Structure 1
Amino acid sequence: MSTRLGWTAALMLSALSLVPARAQDAPKTWDVPMGGNSYLTATSADAAKRGGRNDRWNSPDNVTSVYFRVDRAAELNIALRAKVPQGESRIRATLAGKAVEKDLKGAETADVPLGKVVMKAPGYVKVDLQGLKKTGEVFADIEALEVTPTGKDAAAVVLNYVKDNKDNNFYWGRRGPSIHLGYELPKGEPTEWFYNEVTVPVGSDPVGSYFMSNGFGEGYFGMQVNGENERRVLFSVWSPFKTDRPGEIPEDQKITLLKKGEGVHGGEFGGEGSGGQSYWLYPWKAGNTYRFLNRVHPDGKGSTVYTAWFFVPEKNNWQLIASFKRPKTDKHLTGAHSFLENFADRQGYLSRGALYGNQWSCDVKGEWHESTVARFTTDPIGRSLFRMDYAGGAKGQQFFMRNGGFFAENVKPDQKFTRESTPAKKPVIDFKKLEGADLGS
C-alpha cells in the first residue's frame, strides 16, 4: 500500500487543472507530486518508535524531503502548491541547502514561491519542508512542488520524478528502482549448481534492503535487512500457478518443502507471485563476504528440486536453508542472476549497494565454469526514468550494484560488463557432504 505522508487529497489531484493557462511561449512548469516523491527524513523520537512517520503534518520535529532530478545545468524557480485548512502557519523550506521561511494561510490552494536553485550539473534536487508555528491542526496540505526552469535554455530542461500513481507508481517509485545482473552461463551440458559471493560495504545496508545473490528462473536466494535488529537469509521458489494469493494455488501446483535446515522457518509467500518461502534469522554483517550455493535438478518424476545452502563463516560449514519440490517442472538451473532492491517504501531515499564476485556454475558432469560476464538491467520504475538513482557494472574482480539515495551518477541499463577472472578462487565443495544434497536424486 502506497505511503501518503499525510498530504491529503493531493495524490489524485491534477495540479495543472488548478492554475490558469499559461502563454505558449512561457517556460514549462513541472509539477512534482508529493505522493511519489517525498519522504519523512527526520522525526521525533516518539514517532520513530512508532515506525518513523506521522500521517499528518502537525509536528515541528518532522522534516519531509522532496526529490526530483534535472537533466542538465539549470536555474530553477521553485514554488509550493499548498493550502492551510485552518488558521495560519509558518514553515521553513530548505532548497539545496539554503533555508527560507514562509507564512501560509488560506483554505484555497495557492502557489507559494520558495526561491531559486542553481544546478551546475545534472543531478537530484532536494527540498526540505519543516513546520515552525501553526494555529490550526496541521501546518498545511501540500499537493506538489512547482518547478519552472529559467534562462535561454529553459525549454530544453527535462525533469525526472514519479509523475503519476498509475499501477501504484507512487508506492513502487518510493521504493526506488530494482536492478539486476544477469550472468552468462556456459553452453553445452546443463547447469546443476550455481555459486556466488556477496559483500555489502559498511554503511550500505539500510533497513529494507534485499541483496539477492543466487537468482534462477523460478526463484531467488540472498540476504535481507528486515529491521534494526533483524537480518535474514531468504530462499524462495515460485509456484508454476500464477497468482499473488497462495490460497488460490491448486494442490497439484503447490511448492512442497522437502527439508529445511536447523532453525530455518518454512512457509508460503504471496504478493509478488506465490510459492514456497524459507528464511533463517542470521546476523550477517556489512563488510564481510558471504557465500551462496544452489542446486537445481529434475527428480525424474515430472518435478524439479531446488536446494539452497549458505556458508556460515563462524562454523566453517555450509548451512542448509531449504529444499523445495516444484511440480510440473522438468529442468536444470537457468537464468542465473542477482538483484538489488528496497522492499520498504519509507526507506527509498537511502542508498544501498553491494559487490558480487567469483561466480561459478557446475554442470551435470561435475565440471566448474566461471561466469565473468553479466548484463545490467532495471525494472519499470528505472526504465520509465521515474527514478534514475541506480548504477551497476564491474570493478576489478567484482560486479557492483547501487540504488536509492538520489545520487547523480546513472548507468544506462542493458549493458554487458566483464569482471576480471578469478581462477584461483574456484569453489572446492564436496557435494556429497552437504545436508539435503541427496533429496530428489
Structure 2
Amino acid sequence: MKSLKLVTLIVLGAIWLEGYAQSQENITLPLGGNAYSSLHQDSERTLSNRGIVNWSNPNEYFTAYFRVSKPGTISVSMGDKPLVEGKATVEFSIHNQPKKIDFDQSQAFEGKIGEWTVKDTGYVAIIIKGLSKSGAKFPSITSLIIGGSAIEGKTAYVKNNDGNFFHWGRRGPSVHLNYLQPENVNAEWYYNEVTVPKGEDILGSYFMANGFGEGYFGMQVNSPTERHILFSVWSPFNTDDPKSIPDSHKIKMLKKGENVHTGEFGNEGSGGQSYLNYMWKAGNTYKFLLHGIPGTDSTTTYTAYFFAPETNKWQLIASFTRPKTKTYLKRFHSFLENFSPVQGDLSRKVLFNNQWICDDKGVWTELKSARFTTDNTGMKGYRMDYQGGIDKGTFYLKNGGFFNDYTPPRKILNRTTAGKQPEIDFNKLP
C-alpha cells in the first residue's frame, strides 16, 4: 500500500513538474508596463497599471511589445479574465496578420487568441484594436500570456511593477555618454555642442549636454508650445524633499539671466534649479558652457551659459553656490532620457560634438572618447532599445521606439570629427 502511494506521489509530482516546466516556457506580459495607446498624451484614462481600462473610443488602439532572441512560433492567450460589457469584437495582430476575437459577457472565454510565426529576432508588436461593441466599453485587458518556441531564449519585457517599473519601463531606457578625461586637470570650463536632428524632438525628451558631478545642463521638450534650457545643481544633503534641506546645505542662487525661472526641485535628489523658456529648433546646433570653480570657504560656484544661433550670443542661465563642496568640474557626461511614460514607444536621437574642457591656467583639452552606458531599465533587460555610437564622426545617443539594434553597455566610443577649440572671451560673458 505504501509503495502504491509512493508511485502515485511520484507520478503526480512528475505531472506537476511537467506542468511547471511548460508554464516556465510561457511569460505573462502585463500591459500596464508594456503597452501604449495610439493617443499618447491623451491616454492616461485608458492605460493604467492595471492594463487597458475604460476603453470606449473605437479610434484608439493599443500596442504591446516584447523582444525575442530567437525566431519561431508565438502563441498569445488572455491572462486574467477580461471584463466584458455585452458583446465586443477585438482584433489582435502581429506582422499585419490579424485575428478577430469575439467576447460575450454571457459566455465564458477560453482565453486563447492565436498563434503567429516570427522569422527574426528583435521586438514583437501586438496591436490590439476594437472593431465593435454593444456596450459602452471594449473589454478591459490586464495581461497576455505569451508562449511558443520564439520565447525559449532570452525575452525582454517589463516583468512586474516592483520598484515602480511600469513607470520606468514605459519611459524607456536612458542612455549616457561618460567622457574619458585626462587625470590631474583642474577643469574650470566645460563646453559641448548639441544638435537634435529634425523629427527627433519628441515630446518628453531631455537632451542633456553638460552633466557634471553635482548637476546637469541641457534642453528639453516640455509641451507642444514650451521648451526649456534647464540647469540644475544638487544639494549635498541627500533627500528627495527640498523642504527638508537644512539651510547649511541649501543651494544658493547668485545671479540669473533675463527671463530665467529659478527654484527648487525634488524627487530625484534635491537642489537648485533654473530654466529658460526657449523654443529651440530641431536641426540647429546649440552650444553649452559651464563654469565651475571652488571657493576658499568649502563652497563651489557653478555658472551656466547658453548660445543659440538664432540670437548669436552667449546668455547667462544662472549661477549657483553649492555648500560643503570644494572641487573643480569632474565626471563629464551627456545623456538622453524620456520623462513622459506615454511617449516611450517613440524613438528619439541626439548628436553631441566638439567637447572641450579648459583648466585653471586657460589650457583647452578636447574630449574625444566616451563610455556608453544605460540605466537600470536597460541593465535589468526590461528594455533593449538603447543605442549610442558615432554618426558621421559625431557622438550620438538614441532610445525608445523598440528598435532592434542595441549597443552593448560600457562600450568605448571614439569621436573622429576634428574638433575646433572654442573661441570664447570669458571676461565678456554676461
TM-score (norm 2): 0.90
- Structure 2: any 5+ residue segments left out of the alignment? 1-15, 47-53
1:231–1:284 contact (8 Å) kept in structure 2: yes
2:45 is the alignment partner of 1:54: yes
% of aligned pairs identical?
47
2:28 is the alignment partner of 1:37: no
Residues in 2 aligned to 1:155 and 1:69: alpha-carbon distance in whole angstroms: 9
2:194–2:285 contact (8 Å) kept in structure 1: yes
Deviations 1:283-316 (A, max 9, x none): 1111111110001111211110011101021221
**CA 1:225–1:33 in structure 2 vs 1: closer, same or farther (change >3 Å)?**
same
2:74–2:151 contact (8 Å) kept in structure 1: no
Aligned to 2:166: 170
Residues in 1 aligned to 2:39 and 2:422: alpha-carbon distance in whole angstroms: 45
- Structure 1: any 5+ residue segments left out of the alignment? 1-19, 436-441
Residues in 1 aligned to 2:45 and 2:185: alpha-carbon distance in whole angstroms: 56
The structural deviation recorded for 1:107 is 8.0
**Following superposition of structure 1 onto structure 2, how do residues 404-419 of structure 1 map, counting pairs within 5 Å?**
404-419=400-415
2:271 is the alignment partner of 1:275: yes
The structural deviation recorded for 1:106 is 4.2
Residues in 2 aligned to 1:267 and 1:21: alpha-carbon distance in whole angstroms: 59
1:260–1:322 contact (8 Å) kept in structure 2: yes
Deviations 1:28-77 (A, max 9, x none): 1111111100111248xxxx6xx344331122121111111111222211
Aligned to 2:366: 370
| Matched residue SS, 1:174 | helix
2:204 is the alignment partner of 1:205: no
2:102 is the alignment partner of 1:97: no
1:83–1:108 contact (8 Å) kept in structure 2: no
Q: Which has the larger radius of gyration?
A: 2
TM-score (norm 1): 0.88
2:300–2:327 contact (8 Å) kept in structure 1: yes
Residues in 2 aligned to 1:111 and 1:155: alpha-carbon distance in whole angstroms: 22
The structural deviation recorded for 1:121 is 1.8
Equivalent AA in structure 2 for residue 247 of structure 1: K
Equivalent AA in structure 2 for residue 68 of structure 1: F
2:421 is the alignment partner of 1:426: yes
Equivalent AA in structure 1 for residue 45 of structure 2: N
**Following superposition of structure 1 onto structure 2, how do residues 76-95 of structure 1 map, counting pairs within 5 Å?**
76-81=74-79, 82-95=81-94
**CA 1:191–1:377 in structure 2 vs 1: closer, same or farther (change >3 Å)?**
same
The structural deviation recorded for 1:131 is 1.8
1:83–1:109 contact (8 Å) kept in structure 2: no
Equivalent AA in structure 1 for residue 221 of structure 2: V
**CA 1:427–1:97 in structure 2 vs 1: closer, same or farther (change >3 Å)?**
same
Deviations 1:106-157 (A, max 9, x none): 489855333233222211111111222223343112121111113xxx6743
Residues in 1 aligned to 2:157 and 2:391: alpha-carbon distance in whole angstroms: 29
Residues in 2 aligned to 1:385 and 1:65: alpha-carbon distance in whole angstroms: 20
**CA 1:248–1:191 in structure 2 vs 1: closer, same or farther (change >3 Å)?**
same
Residues in 2 aligned to 1:146 and 1:53: alpha-carbon distance in whole angstroms: 24
Equivalent AA in structure 1 for residue 191 of structure 2: Y
Aligned to 2:6: none
| Matched residue SS, 1:164 | coil
2:394 to 393, 398, 412: 398
Residues in 1 aligned to 2:376 and 2:109: alpha-carbon distance in whole angstroms: 33
Superposition RMSD in Å: 1.9
Residues in 1 aligned to 2:191 and 2:107: alpha-carbon distance in whole angstroms: 60
Equivalent AA in structure 2 for residue 67 of structure 1: Y
Deviations 1:164-187 (A, max 9, x none): 111101100000001100001222
2:224 is the alignment partner of 1:228: yes
Residues in 2 aligned to 1:155 and 1:95: alpha-carbon distance in whole angstroms: 15
Equivalent AA in structure 2 for residue 252 of structure 1: S
**CA 1:22–1:231 in structure 2 vs 1: closer, same or farther (change >3 Å)?**
farther
2:302 is the alignment partner of 1:306: yes
1:70–1:124 contact (8 Å) kept in structure 2: yes
Aligned to 2:326: 330
Deviations 1:353-396 (A, max 9, x none): 10111000001110000000100001110000100001002234
Equivalent AA in structure 2 for residue 430 of structure 1: D
Residues in 1 aligned to 2:162 and 2:236: alpha-carbon distance in whole angstroms: 28
2:150 is the alignment partner of 1:159: no
